[in-house]
Amino acid sequence: MCDRLPATRHQFHTMSAASQAPAIATEARKTPDTRGKSKLVTVALAFLFGSLGAHRFYLKGLGDKFGWAHLIGTVAGAIGIASLMIGVGNTALNWVFAVAGGISLTSAFLTAIVFGLRPDEKWDERYNPHGAPTRSGWPVVILIILSLMIGTGLLMAGLAISFQTFFESQVEAAKALSQE
C-alpha cells in the first residue's frame, strides 16, 4: 500500500507522471504556506490581540476556525459583560457570554506563553521551514513574562468574581427561603 508513494521527493523521476499526481497533491496539502512566520510577531499578536484571533489568522490565514472562535468568544464576552453591568437580558445567558469572553482572553495569554516557549528549531520546522533560522531573544522572553503575569491575574480575578457572585446569590436565595 505504501509502495505507490515515493519516500522522498527525489524519487519522483523514477515514477510515471500519472502516478506522481496523487503524491504531489498529498504533499501540497501538508505544506500549504511556504512563507516563514516570525515567532516574535506571533507571540506579540497573541499577547496584544490574541482574544481577537490575530495570532491564528497570522499563522493559518482567515480560514482558521479557531481564530474565528476567538473573535466570536470575545464579542460574546463583551456583550455579556455589558449586559450584566446594565442589568438587561437573561442573567444566566449573560454569564455564559461573559465566560466565553474570559476563556478567549485567558487562552490568548496561554497561547502566547506556549508559542514563546516553543524551541526555535521546532518553530522553524513547523512555521518557518524555508526562512532564516529563528533566534528568540529578550522581546519574546519579556512577552512571555507579561503574558504569565496578566493571564494569571485575569484568571484569578475571574474566578474570584465568579465565586463571589455565586455565593452572594446563594445567600440571597437562603434569605428568601428563611423569610417564607
- Residue 59 backbone phi and psi in degrees, to 5: -80, -40
Q: Give residue 12's pLDDT.
A: 45
Residue 41: CB atoms within 10 Å: 13
- Residue 142 backbone phi and psi in degrees, to 5: -65, -40
8 Å CB contact between 80 and 95:
yes
Number of helices (H) and strands (E) in the chain: give both, helices first: 7, 0
Cα three-residue angle 69-143-116, rounded to 5 degrees? 70
8 Å CB contact between 56 and 67:
yes
Residues 6+ apart with CB under 8 A from 23: 4, 5, 6, 12, 15
8 Å CB contact between 150 and 89:
no
Q: What is the pTM of this model?
A: 0.70
Please provide the average confidence, as pLDDT, over all residues in the chain.
Answer: 83
- Banded pLDDT at 25 (limits 50, 70, 90): very low
DSSP structural state of residue 80:
H
Q: Whole-angstrom Cα distance, residue 56 to residue 111?
A: 10
Q: Whole-angstrom Cα distance, residue 141 to residue 126?
A: 20
Q: How does pLDDT run across 89-140, given as a tens digit for each residue?
A: 998 899 899 999 999 999 999 999 999 999 999 999 999 888 788 888 999 9
Grid cell of 32 as nine digits: 500549504
- Banded pLDDT at 33 (limits 50, 70, 90): low
Spans of all domains in the chain: 39-178
